[in-house]
A and B are shown apart, each in its own frame.
Chain A
Amino acid sequence: MTEQFEPTIIGFTCNWCSYRAADLAGTARLKYPPNIRLIRLMCSGRLDPSFVFKALAKGADGVMITGCHPGECHYLEQNYKALRRFLLIRRTLKGFGIEPERVKLVWASAAEGVKFASETTSFVEEIRELGPLNWGKASGNGGKPASEKEAEQLETEVAA
């Protein structure tokens, strides 16, 4: 049997809803894949898009952004900002040749431990399906190093 690809997923949770949902999933002993690493923010509005890019750049295969349901943000309307950033992040990633589906947005209230677990499970499967983030495919020359040309030889030629 070939080894199954285990994606690395970074999950951003908000302190008031989705982190509690994850907590509830834990106390309720719900099962979901261990591929996700959760980072707690005070609010999904705190999510600087650079967090997402940094996660992907440093080796994550997918990023899950979670927050309170629309209209239920503890900071009034910050989750709408997260929504707009999420949509714009996806569009930008597409420009980079990275599948926009690698970033997902999930609303989960503090009572929705079951939803949190099931959304995480399905996201892990989606990313498993997509495979590892392929920088080569994303752009440049198939991710291969600069043609293994005889660098030194060329250098002397250039210098001559």
Chain B
Amino acid sequence: MSKEKPKFAMYWAASCGGCEIAVLNIHEKILDVDANFDVAFWPVAMDAKYKDVEAMEDGAILLTLFNGGIRNDENEHIAKLLRQKSQILVAFGSCACEGCIPGLANFSPVNEITETAFSTISTDNPDGILPQTSYDMPEGKITIPTIYPTLRTLDQVVEVDYYMPGCPPESHQIAAVIDLVVQVLQGKAELPPKGATIGAGGSTVCDECERVRNEKKITSFRRIYDAPIDPELCLLEQGVPCNGIATRSGCNARCPSAGAQCIGCYGPAEGVEDYGARLIGAFASVIDSEDPEEIEAILDGIPDPAGQFYRFNLAGSLLKAAKPAWEKA
């Protein structure tokens, strides 16, 4: 075949690498990627240099899956670069969409983060060496990226065409998206409208959950290990703070089906403006008490509300920790 294959790129910014594993987890479907795309840039899987990407023409890459939030200047540089070089930029995975676990560090200033990483008891660092952004070696100056005060989501830095939530996105959803893109390439399907969330459902996790739901009235919150869990009954009804109510469907309610509460990795459901606010509304509604003191005692069962409600969504939330920091950046 003489016709050149369209280019594909995948990049990781502030992320754990789980998204790449999820992509490889689509098994033989990965061959479709190879058959239909020329993998131009994918640091985890192949050797490529930033300057190779910089040398490309604008829009030379057809599809870029970008996972990870923007935590330092290298992340930002590559986000802007890939935006410029890509026709379709997908915020891939919870980190790029809404900040995810790395975004939780927005609760702390950078010096505290560094402190935790390099000086706490679990760290073997007797000389208290801290990373420097630049260091003069006899051979010359070496540098590492500069950390920003907050983590930003991809769309807080560059324009994003599609969002694909999940921590990581489920493999069957990735496979479905790849199928769709291949069909689009063959002229058999059309792309969804720009800005759409792809590879996920439009409803909530509860909608896919098989557990039996009744009217909810809770007199205390509990952990799943506190006492045996009824295998049939809705977890929230049993007092387990399950986030399924506000979370986007798409995972087939994996965690609740396995007896663990939904922690919300698929992000806010369609139409939810603020994920945590929706959960606060929902949890507060099902508490069965009208007495302020008793309510406070029940709420003690959620020891870290901000962490519970914004585990995946802090950087993308309405309040965003340290909002002005990223607005000016």
Chain A interface residues (CB < 8 Å from chain B): 48-50, 52-54, 56-57, 70, 77, 80-81, 83-85, 87-89, 91-92, 94-98, 135-136, 138-147, 149, 151, 154-155, 157-160
Contact = CB atoms under 8 A, between A and B. Distances in A.
Given A155-B77, A158-B77, A146 B325 contact: yes
Interface string B96-111: 0000000000111110
- In this complex, the member of A48, A91, A142 whose beta carbon has the largest number of chain B beta carbons within 10 angstroms is A91
A53 B304 CA distance: 18
B109 A142 contact: yes
Interface of B: 50-51, 54, 73-74, 77, 106-110, 143, 145-146, 148-150, 273-274, 276-278, 280-281, 283-285, 287, 289-290, 292, 295-296, 299, 302, 304-307, 309, 317-325, 328-329
Contacts of B287: 84
Contacts of B290: 70, 77, 80, 83
A143 B323 CA distance: 7
Given A85-B285, A94-B306, 16 more contacts: A50-B274, A53-B319, A57-B320, A85-B280, A88-B302, A92-B280, A95-B304, A96-B107, A96-B321, A135-B324, A135-B325, A138-B322, A139-B322, A143-B322, A146-B146, A158-B73
A56 B292 CA distance: 24
A88 B300 CA distance: 10
Nearest to B80: A155
Nearest to B300: A91
Given A53-B318, A88-B280, A88-B283, A140 B106 contact: yes
B143 A157 contact: yes
Contact of A149 (B107, B146, B323): B146
A159 B77 contact: yes
A140 B54 contact: no
B277 A48 contact: yes
Secondary structure dominating the interface of A: helix
A142 B149 CA distance: 9
Contact of B319 (A83, A96, A157): A96
- In this complex, the member of A48, A80, A136 whose beta carbon has the largest number of chain B beta carbons within 10 angstroms is A80
9 contacts: A50-B273, A54-B273, A57-B320, A57-B323, A85-B280, A135-B323, A135-B325, A143-B324, A145-B149
B321 A139 contact: yes
Nearest to B150: A140
B292 A83 contact: yes
Contacts of B295: 83-84, 87
Contacts of A97: 107, 321
B146 to A, nearest CB: 6
Given A88-B283, A139-B322, A159 B51 contact: yes
A84 B289 CA distance: 9
A98 B306 CA distance: 11
Given A53-B277, A158-B77, A139 B283 contact: no
B87 to A, nearest CB: 22
B149 A146 contact: yes
- In this complex, the member of B77, B283, B295, B322 whose beta carbon has the largest number of chain A beta carbons within 10 angstroms is B322
A70 B150 CA distance: 42
A95 B329 CA distance: 24
A84 B73 CA distance: 42
Contact of A87 (B106, B281, B296): B296
